[in-house]
Amino acid sequence: MELHNLAAVEPGSNRSEYEFLLLPEEAILMEFKSIRDLCIITDRKIIAINVQGLTGRKKEILVLPFSKMTAFAVESSGTLDTDAELVLWSSGIGKTELEFLRGTADVRNIARLLAQHIR
């Protein structure tokens, strides 16, 4: 799955779209949105929602538990505060790519969080 042009938004601001995927005590740490797609990072997993089709009624939802992630890579166009791409590899799923818009997300914070959870 690939999500492009993600920009940071207030964590939980689109909660109604993915609340059914959260555990009762799970904390939303970061949230990113493009025109239609969403990426949510909690204290336990990453949720990627890819809205498809012209009407937007079809959605692909990918839940990546930190326990299943095997590696990640951060790619930027220079310094890490410019356009950045986060590539995640997970067992049984493969490769997932998240692309963030310039100046809207500090991928260093995301990388730090992943480094703490991926073993």
pLDDT tens-digit map of 17-38: 999 999 999 999 999 999 999 9
Segments of the chain assigned E as strands: 2-9, 28-33, 38-42, 45-52, 58-65, 69-76, 84-90, 94-100
Six-digit token string for 104:
């809207």
- Asked whether the beta carbons of 84 and 75 are under 8 A apart, the reply is yes
Domain count, the chain: 1
> Domain range spanning residue 46?
2-117
Q: How far apart are CA 117 and CA 101, in angstroms?
A: 25
Average pLDDT, the chain: 89
Angle at 94 between CA 54 and CA 11, to 5 degrees: 60
pLDDT tens-digit map of 64-88: 999 999 999 988 766 554 578 899 9
The CATH number covering residue 8 comes to 2.30.29.50
Amino acid at 18: Y
Residue partners of 38: CB distance under 8 A and separation at least 6: 14, 17, 18, 31, 32, 47, 48, 49
pTM over 0.85: yes
